[in-house]
Amino acid sequence: MKVLFLCSSNSGSVSPFVTEQVRALERAGVLPVFFLLEGKGIKGYLKNLRKLKQVVSVEKPDILHAHYGLCGTLAVLQNKVPVIVTYHGSDINLSKARLFSLPALWFSKKNIFVSQKLLQNSGSKGVVIPCGIDRKVFFPSDKLEARKRMGLLPGKKYVLFSSAFNNPVKNSTLAKAAVKLMKSDVELLEMKGYSREEVASLFNAVDVALLTSFSEGSPQFVKEALACNCPVVTTDVGDVRELLDDVSGCFVTSFVPSEIAEKLDQCLSRNARIDAKQRMDRYDNLQISLKILNVYRNIL
């Protein structure tokens, strides 16, 4: 089965969780071909349509799988190959992006949403399949060794922020405000410019992972932290309540800085890793790829 994957390359590369998912599908027997879109906004994406049709004619894929709604809207403008679209969060949660995602929601053969809340917010029909994690990369390791690898001080307290500080959706202003209110002296680390292996080392090296996003679909940051047994404090977005259900040492908070600071201090006073590694088995990329493969087969 040949599948043509449509993804944006505006950030300089394809999102890691997409490439990892495609690799897992390849191991499951899918022959993948990538089409990387360049350009911003609906006009920028539409400039790719002629080239997309040419690639479809040459490659003759069985299915076209687009990631994010705007990519899906471009995908449904060709009518030779059935389209499946995966929605990741911003394409549904942000009103302007959801408007551009409407043609994909209406005309794709199947819609995949990474969380139940995202499916409900879409006002459409589809299946819920979260993005998986690479368990060969994200697993618990020795904290001191991880700090040594990442150049962090052995006795210092570190909080890992979920993204680059300049990413507006991730709401670093709230994270910085909360850290200033903490009783403990900590350093807030920006997650930017690291390889996947380095990100895994950071989860094992820091004391707590912090997500303060305005909105999310099914945050990979939280799943990857849990796979490394790293405590998590997060605002109530996406499917975090489901992810953290009954995980001792993790907290879902409001958007009030003082509450976030209090929960961060609780994690630090606990001074222990959590026990969530086994809970992440269901999010292993191999398991997720089999669910997606089943969607492909049903469409064909």
Predicted confidence (pLDDT) per residue in 170-217, tens digit: 999 999 999 999 998 999 999 998 999 999 999 999 999 999 999 999
| 2-132+284-299 and 143-281 agree in CATH topology | yes
Confidence check: pLDDT of 101 > 70 = yes
- Give the pTM: 0.91
Query: Residue 286 has which token pair?
Result: 């191999």
Q: Could you state, in order of their start, the residue ranges of all structural domains in the chain?
A: 2-132+284-299, 143-281
pLDDT cut 70: percent of the chain above it: 99
Q: Which of 207, 210, 206 is nearest to 173 (CA)?
A: 210
**Given this model, what pLDDT does residue 41 score?**
77
What pLDDT, in 10s, does the model give residues 274-288? 998 888 989 999 999
Confidence check: pLDDT of 67 > 90 = yes
Give 151's Cβ-side CA count (13 Å radius).
2
**Given this model, what pLDDT does residue 12 score?**
60
Rounded CA-CA distance 91/126 in Å is: 15
The CATH number of 2-132+284-299 is which of 3.40.50.620, 3.30.300.30, 3.40.50.2000, 3.30.310.10? 3.40.50.2000
Rounded CA-CA distance 27/46 in Å is: 32
**Given this model, what pLDDT does residue 111 score?**
97
**Given this model, what pLDDT does residue 11 score?**
63
Rounded CA-CA distance 181/185 in Å is: 10
Confidence check: pLDDT of 14 > 70 = yes
- CA distances, 64 to each of 35, 79, 198, 278, 298 (Å): 10, 11, 32, 33, 14
Rounded CA-CA distance 114/292 in Å is: 12
Write the class of the CATH domain 143-281: alpha beta
What pLDDT, in 10s, does the model give residues 110-166? 999 999 999 999 989 999 999 999 999 999 999 999 999 999 999 999 999 999 999
Per the CB < 8 A criterion, the answer to whether 211 and 235 are in contact is: yes
Q: What does the mean pLDDT of the chain come to?
A: 94
